[in-house]
Amino acid sequence: MHVVYVIGQSSGGLPHYAAELANAMTEHADVTVLKPSVTSADDLFAEEVDVLSVFEPISISMPEIYKLDLDPRKVYRGLSSYDNIEIIRDLDADLVHDPTGLFPQMKFFIKIHGIDKQYPFVTTRHEVPPNPFSLSRPPVFVESVVDLLIPNLDEQQSIVHTKRQKEVLVNRGYPQELVRVIPHGVYSVFGSAQENVAEPEPNTLLFFGNIVPPKGLNTLVKAIPQVAREIPDVKLIIAGDGKISSDSQRIIDNYEKNFEVHNRFIENDKVNELFSRAEVVTTPYRSQQGTKGHSGVVATAFSFGKPIVASTASEFPELVGESGAGVVVPPDDPHKLATAIIGVLKDDEAREEMSKRSLEMADRLSWENVAKQYLDVYRQIIDNQSSEKRIYPVST
């Protein structure tokens, strides 16, 4: 079997996801990856993966959008370069899979070149908003409008990470049998609890990832003064690209000893150190109605066996709360968040138990297990190639 993965984004966690899946799939199939010339995962692909850099970098990311830091010429070059998707015809593929969410430029050029008609096509959707046209998240709204203008693709299977996401797609009209739930695997490419490059530092918290409003950094920063009154040496490490609000910056300046800020994209070889140093990982995300699917930060925290203090947004109540890997609190509530952080930092026994549960989640969500589930999907599709394909809406 020859699987071709196509990557529709240059930055953030989506290329990491594609690299993990491609690496794991090499145990079962020949794997080729078509990607932009520069991505956040360039140093993560295994030698067994045939990596072809056929697109220009996509200079659109959530931090850049919120900072209004976009170069229209680079954006155009990146988007238009997906015309090169036709190279798939030279690769003798058995199946084509976009594991990065089917961005509009990918959808457009796949339709233009008829790739979805010539090869079985699979998409993994990481975020499935109940109302993609809500104005509460302008970038998602714009993407959804553009997506609506592009003709529907002929997909053989749409993969989501949670049952709630599947419900949303089915309610939109997707045939239930064409939507499959496969959990998000843990990120192992950054290391694990057995590969720590630093010792955990007492009372140290980590906020990792893009700094954009939905991630709830403002709420976490507001909680730190309350935590500091109980635990004076608490330290919050903020590591990620994006714009820190003026309100948050004011608190950071006033409580300088309680913050360590790395306001930039974090290179892959620095991730291990940051997660190793943290006693607790925080994901105070704002409510996204349970359809975010999963968090790459939580996936990485599991890999390192870290306790997690999360909000009840997304699937965190199940992934974090019910698993015992941490505690969850309502979003946008600095007081309750601070109380939860204090409780976890002060209870060594509870933290140790959460760490064990976190590692159990890492085993359950290993890429070996996730790849086998994808392989089952691929085999079913290829075995049924002669059956009639079905067309259904694919708006994100």
Q: What is the pLDDT of residues 330-373, one digit of tens each?
A: 999 999 999 999 999 999 999 999 999 999 999 999 999 999 99
Query: 198: helix, coil or strand?
Result: coil
Please check whether residue 270 lies inside any domain of the structure: yes
- Based on the fold, state whether residues 220 and 151 are members of the same structural domain: no
In whole angstroms, give the CA distance from residue 294 to residue 48: 27
- Based on the fold, state whether residues 163 and 132 are members of the same structural domain: yes
Q: What is the pLDDT of residues 148-198, one digit of tens each?
A: 788 889 999 999 998 889 999 999 888 999 999 999 999 988 988 888 788
Please check whether residue 390 lies inside any domain of the structure: no
Contacts of 253 (CB under 8 A, 6+ apart): none
Question: Helix, strand, coil % (nearest 5) of the chain?
Answer: 45, 15, 40
Please check whether residue 342 lies inside any domain of the structure: yes
pLDDT band of 392, cuts 50, 70, 90: very low
Do the beta carbons of residue 251 and residue 288 sit within 8 Å? no
- Based on the fold, state whether residues 262 and 331 are members of the same structural domain: yes
Q: How many CB atoms lie within 10 A of CB 121?
A: 24
- Based on the fold, state whether residues 251 and 337 are members of the same structural domain: yes
Please check whether residue 389 lies inside any domain of the structure: no
- Based on the fold, state whether residues 209 and 339 are members of the same structural domain: yes
Give whole-number Cα distances, 348 to 203, 306, 345, 383, in Å: 11, 13, 7, 52
Do the beta carbons of residue 375 and residue 28 sit within 8 Å? yes
- Based on the fold, state whether residues 164 and 244 are members of the same structural domain: no
Q: What is the pLDDT of residues 191-232, one digit of tens each?
A: 888 887 889 999 999 999 999 898 999 999 999 999 999 999
Q: What integer is the mean pLDDT of 10-23?
A: 94
In whole angstroms, give the CA distance from residue 396 to residue 386: 28
Q: How far apart are the first and last CA of the chain?
A: 29
Q: How many CB atoms lie within 10 A of CB 228?
A: 19
Please check whether residue 392 lies inside any domain of the structure: no
Please check whether residue 391 lies inside any domain of the structure: no
- Based on the fold, state whether residues 41 and 129 are members of the same structural domain: yes
- Based on the fold, state whether residues 149 and 68 are members of the same structural domain: yes
pTM of the model: 0.87
Which of 209, 222, 363 is closest to 296 using CA atoms?
209
- Based on the fold, state whether residues 140 and 267 are members of the same structural domain: no
Structure tokens at 24: 């794991």
Q: Residue 242 has what DSSP assignment?
A: B
Structure tokens at 179: 């939507």
Would you say how long the chain is, in residues? 396
Do the beta carbons of residue 238 and residue 259 sit within 8 Å? yes
Element (H, E) at 354: helix 348-364
Burial 88-118 (b: 16+ CB within 10 A, else e): beebebbbbbbbbbbbbbbbbbbbebebbee
Instruction: Please state whether beta strands 280-283 and 204-208 pair in parallel, antiparallel, or not at all (unpaired).
Output: parallel
- Based on the fold, state whether residues 180 and 299 are members of the same structural domain: no
Structural domain span for residue 9: 2-185+366-383
Element (H, E) at 281: strand 280-283
Q: What is the pLDDT of residues 62-106, one digit of tens each?
A: 555 555 666 788 888 989 999 999 999 999 999 999 999 999 999
Q: Please report how the helices 14-25 and 367-383 are oriented relative to each other, as an axis angle in degrees rounded to 10.
A: 70
pLDDT band of 279, cuts 50, 70, 90: very high
Give the side-chain half-sphere CA count within 13 A for 271: 28
Which of 20-34, 140-154, 240-254, 262-276 has the least mean pLDDT? 140-154
- Based on the fold, state whether residues 376 and 359 are members of the same structural domain: no
Task: Specify the CATH number for the domain of residue 350.
Answer: 3.40.50.2000
Contacts of 306 (CB under 8 A, 6+ apart): 206, 275, 278, 279, 280, 281, 355, 358
Please check whether residue 328 lies inside any domain of the structure: yes
- Based on the fold, state whether residues 347 and 220 are members of the same structural domain: yes
Per the listing, tokens 């991730």 go with 271
Domain count, the chain: 2
- pLDDT for residue 129 is more than 70: yes
Q: Residue 243 has what DSSP assignment?
A: P
Do the beta carbons of residue 117 and residue 88 sit within 8 Å? no
Do the beta carbons of residue 50 and residue 23 sit within 8 Å? no
Please check whether residue 43 lies inside any domain of the structure: yes
